[in-house]
Chains A and B, each alone.
Chain A
Amino acid sequence: MSVTDIAFEAQAAEAVPEQAIEGRSQLQLTWRRLRHDRMAIASVVVILVMAVLALLAPLFASLTGHGVDQPFTNTGLTADGIPVPPGTNGFILGSDYIGRDLLIRILYGARLSLFVGITTTLIATVAGVTIGLVAGYFGGWVDSVLARFIDAVLAFPVVVLALALAAVFGASLPIVLGVISFFSWAGISRIVRGQTLSLKEKEYIEAARSLGAAPLRIMFVDILPNLIGPVLVLATLYIPNAIVFEATLSFLGIGIPAPTADWGSILSEAQNYYQVSWWYVVFPAAALLVTTLAFNLLGDGIRDALDPRTERLFAAGRKSRRRRRREGPAIALAAPAGGSEA
């Protein structure tokens, strides 16, 4: 016992200057690593700029005097009735086919894209995590049923269902949100289920059970914190997916109904004008590309930051990251998720 006492005193002495020592949590450590990843920080900046611009869209509308759905047949169209190029008559990025300000429409489109991307990802993450945890933790027939359901959803022809729903209920924002959410949770569920299957065999889960913890408590207090990493990465990577998905639906005319400004529907309208009005295609497409790219790069950065082993292999990581992306996020995610528990 004396050995312990000495050791204890030594610890206490060394602890005096710093009151109540606080260990760094996984998220704090991740953030510290993420801060040194220039690509990830650039992505954060791009996303923040995009979000600020989207929020300030009404301000830009009042500054230019161009309403989002307001056609300017005199100033916004040439004598031949085609869109005016950028910089003409106060149209900074040019106009669209009925003389609306393209910049204002892209900014309002950003609001919609970010809203749809983030909302559906939140719904999909909450549903996916819950279903994955329940399936993985309880196992047995619960797992069999849920796992088959996940497989069924993943195998479903998404666009066909969206077309059918749009035909029955008419295209609308709630339908779009519902369709995207419904087809996004299954991927998250599958990852969470797999992780839960391995985590529930850990001794600390047994320790929690021996204390009398209820299954819900074990799932959300003991298992979930170990899943934050992979779920955070997945969610970040699902936002751009959802944005592209929404744009696709709108492009096909089964998304957000006109005249609401939306990147997908702007691109759809632009199809007939790209030969005469390059800006009509280039600017909304660039907005879509930059936004989704930023989210993807941020997701990659978070994934690398969560896995301490990548810290010193940063240059090598970039190369392998590109390779991993080609294989798709689901496969690539399994590796750092498993590694981060070590």
Chain B
Amino acid sequence: MSGPLSAVPADGGGSGELLRVENLVKYFPVRSTGMVRRTIGQVQAVDGVSLTIGRGQTLGLVGETGCGKSTLARCIAGLIPVTSGTVTFEGHDITNLPRRAMRPFRREIQMIFQDPYGSLNPRRRVGAIIGDPFAIHKTATGNERKRAVQELMERVGLNPEHYNRFPAEFSGGQRQRIGVARALALRPKLIICDEPVSALDVSIQAQVLNLLADLQDDFGLSYLFIAHDLEVVRHVSDSVIVMYLGRIAEAGPKDPVYDTPRHPYTAALLSASPAADPESAASRQRIILTGDVPSPINPPSGCRFHPRCPKAQELCSQSVPELEPKSGGEPTHLTACHYPVQAGEILASTGRREPV
């Protein structure tokens, strides 16, 4: 397939590949209210996304709120049915498997959620929450389970004595550690992190990110790391995918994507992220996009970014750009753009006005 070999090491062989997603599409029907609930539209949340993740690698996924990042994560984790496309894990097609058939793969693919408050049941004790994976997969019971849970708590930096406490008695960072412990319990190979640090204070973010990095080294984990913070993604990822309105805008190893973005959207995103170094911040050009993200119920024709793109031309509204390597870039650096940004090019500081 023409899908980008995003986080697979240079050899790209099948042995290094853990997860492959091909042409994944997820539409949510929009139904009318009333007795007869006719489908009156589709929210095109994810529209033809392909990616691969290699063993022990981290694939970062960035994009604005509502671009389909979390929907993609839930499709891969098998939490919501996929409209079309395939998800392959270690060579097994796990797309839309029934619950029982999915069970063995649940142990391999785990998830860490964004909201450390919403992702822990407020009425259950921490020991029970972290012990859930063992209980559901019947891998440990009684004292054995308790010991396993306390080991996990210690591993993620929690006091094992707090086994009998409720989530409300922990801080946001500690709660996220509880979520990490739960995800880690079954020794998965892939952990999907859905904005795991965006609800935390910056100082706590670093602690949780370091914990995730340590665990990756110790257990050889692969991460699909979703965030809207570009610097966080750059810090943790081997490869990066930039999404816009349900499609991949740009993908590739992190350095070329961050250093020489080819898609105008990536360039605009990067120009908007605050730089720690004031000198480089002063010399940077800001690309200010106008307008809002269009509705995924009725996305723009052709390139979905064209109404807001400073470089958009006639062709952009007519044909969908392929995700492909662009001249002058590395072969693994893919961009879906008819008129990719050239090195040193100055983009207009305002986007084209959307015709009213």
Q: Which A positions have Cβ atoms within 8 angstroms of B?
A: 1, 3-5, 7-8, 11-12, 15, 19-26, 202-204, 206-214, 217, 221-222, 225-226, 228, 341
Judged by a CB distance under 8 angstroms, whether B339 is at the interface is no
**Which chain B residues (14-45) contact chain A, with CB distance < 8 Å?**
none
Contacts of A5 in B (CB 8 A): 157
Interface centre among B79, B111, B159 (most CB of A within 10 A): B159
- With beta carbons under 8 angstroms apart, the residue of B77, B78, B119, B164 that contacts A204 is B119
On whether the beta carbons of B164 and A210 are closer than 8 Å, the reply is: no
A338 to chain B, nearest CB (A): 13
On whether the beta carbons of B79 and A209 are closer than 8 Å, the reply is: yes
B296 to chain A, nearest CB (A): 20
Sorted from nearest, which 8 A-B pairs have the closest CB atoms? A212-B106, A23-B165, A225-B123, A203-B118, A203-B119, A22-B164, A23-B166, A11-B159
Docked Cα-Cα span, A209 to B81, in Å, equals 13
Judged by a CB distance under 8 angstroms, whether B187 is at the interface is no
Q: Which residue of B lies closest to A223 (CB)?
A: B121
Docked Cα-Cα span, A5 to B162, in Å, equals 16
Q: Which residue of A lies closest to B182 (CB)?
A: A207
Contacts of B77 in A (CB 8 A): 210
A137 to chain B, nearest CB (A): 14
Judged by a CB distance under 8 angstroms, whether B207 is at the interface is yes
A339 to chain B, nearest CB (A): 13
- With beta carbons under 8 angstroms apart, the residue of A3, A20, A210 that contacts B111 is A210
On whether the beta carbons of B164 and A4 are closer than 8 Å, the reply is: no
Interface centre among A20, A204, A206, A228 (most CB of B within 10 A): A204
Docked Cα-Cα span, A3 to B157, in Å, equals 10
Docked Cα-Cα span, A213 to B186, in Å, equals 14
Docked Cα-Cα span, A26 to B167, in Å, equals 12
- With beta carbons under 8 angstroms apart, the residue of A3, A214, A228 that contacts B123 is A228
On whether the beta carbons of A23 and B106 are closer than 8 Å, the reply is: no
With contacts A206-B79, A207-B113 taken as known, whether A212 is within 8 angstroms of B121 at the C-beta atoms is: no
On whether the beta carbons of A23 and B133 are closer than 8 Å, the reply is: no
Docked Cα-Cα span, A270 to B32, in Å, equals 59
With contacts A25-B166, A204-B119, A212-B136 taken as known, whether A15 is within 8 angstroms of B110 at the C-beta atoms is: no
Docked Cα-Cα span, A214 to B98, in Å, equals 12
On whether the beta carbons of A23 and B159 are closer than 8 Å, the reply is: no
Judged by a CB distance under 8 angstroms, whether B272 is at the interface is no
- With beta carbons under 8 angstroms apart, the residue of A11, A203, A211, A226 that contacts B136 is A211
Judged by a CB distance under 8 angstroms, whether B125 is at the interface is yes
On whether the beta carbons of A213 and B132 are closer than 8 Å, the reply is: yes
List the count of A-B residue pairs having beta carbons below 8 Å apart: 103
Docked Cα-Cα span, A20 to B114, in Å, equals 29
Judged by a CB distance under 8 angstroms, whether B312 is at the interface is no
**Which chain B residues (70-109) contact chain A, with CB distance < 8 Å?**
74, 77-79, 99, 102-103, 106-107, 109
- With beta carbons under 8 angstroms apart, the residue of B114, B159, B165 that contacts A12 is B159
Docked Cα-Cα span, A24 to B77, in Å, equals 34
With contacts A20-B161, A22-B164, A23-B166 taken as known, whether A210 is within 8 angstroms of B106 at the C-beta atoms is: yes
How many chain B residues touch A (CB < 8 A): the figure is 45
Docked Cα-Cα span, A83 to B109, in Å, equals 79
Judged by a CB distance under 8 angstroms, whether B169 is at the interface is yes
Contacts of A341 in B (CB 8 A): 122
Judged by a CB distance under 8 angstroms, whether B163 is at the interface is yes
Q: Which residue of A lies closest to B134 (CB)?
A: A211
On whether the beta carbons of B159 and A226 are closer than 8 Å, the reply is: no
On whether the beta carbons of B164 and A225 are closer than 8 Å, the reply is: no
**Which chain B residues (127-172) contact chain A, with CB distance < 8 Å?**
132-133, 136-137, 157-159, 161-166, 168-169
Docked Cα-Cα span, A12 to B160, in Å, equals 9
Q: List 18 A-B contacts (CB under 8 A).
A: A1-B211, A7-B157, A11-B162, A15-B161, A20-B161, A24-B166, A206-B79, A206-B111, A207-B111, A207-B113, A207-B120, A210-B109, A211-B133, A212-B106, A214-B99, A217-B136, A225-B123, A226-B122
A317 to chain B, nearest CB (A): 23
Interface centre among A4, A208, A228 (most CB of B within 10 A): A4
Docked Cα-Cα span, A213 to B106, in Å, equals 10
Judged by a CB distance under 8 angstroms, whether B284 is at the interface is no
Docked Cα-Cα span, A24 to B74, in Å, equals 34
With contacts A15-B161, A209-B79, A226-B123 taken as known, whether A203 is within 8 angstroms of B102 at the C-beta atoms is: no
Q: Which residue of B lies closest to A207 (CB)?
A: B119
Docked Cα-Cα span, A226 to B167, in Å, equals 13
Judged by a CB distance under 8 angstroms, whether B231 is at the interface is no
With contacts A21-B165, A228-B123 taken as known, whether A4 is within 8 angstroms of B211 at the C-beta atoms is: yes
Contacts of A21 in B (CB 8 A): 161-162, 164-165
- With beta carbons under 8 angstroms apart, the residue of B79, B169, B179, B186 that contacts A23 is B169
With contacts A217-B136, A225-B121, A225-B123 taken as known, whether A212 is within 8 angstroms of B103 at the C-beta atoms is: yes
On whether the beta carbons of A4 and B159 are closer than 8 Å, the reply is: no
Docked Cα-Cα span, A341 to B111, in Å, equals 23
On whether the beta carbons of B163 and A20 are closer than 8 Å, the reply is: yes
Contacts of A24 in B (CB 8 A): 166
A265 to chain B, nearest CB (A): 44
Q: Which residue of A lies closest to B163 (CB)?
A: A20
B194 to chain A, nearest CB (A): 9
Contacts of A211 in B (CB 8 A): 106, 110, 132-133, 136-137, 182, 186
Contacts of B122 in A (CB 8 A): 226, 341
With contacts A23-B125, A341-B122 taken as known, whether A8 is within 8 angstroms of B157 at the C-beta atoms is: yes
On whether the beta carbons of B207 and A203 are closer than 8 Å, the reply is: no
Known contacts A21-B165, A206-B74, A211-B132, then 13 further A-B pairs from the complex at CB < 8 Å, ordered by chain A residue: A1-B210, A1-B211, A8-B158, A20-B161, A20-B164, A25-B123, A203-B113, A203-B115, A206-B113, A206-B119, A207-B119, A208-B136, A226-B121
Judged by a CB distance under 8 angstroms, whether B214 is at the interface is yes
Docked Cα-Cα span, A23 to B170, in Å, equals 11
Contacts of A8 in B (CB 8 A): 157-159
Judged by a CB distance under 8 angstroms, whether B353 is at the interface is no
Q: Which residue of B lies closest to A199 (CB)?
A: B121
Contacts of A209 in B (CB 8 A): 79
On whether the beta carbons of B106 and A15 are closer than 8 Å, the reply is: no
B118 to chain A, nearest CB (A): 4
On whether the beta carbons of A19 and B161 are closer than 8 Å, the reply is: yes
Docked Cα-Cα span, A25 to B164, in Å, equals 10
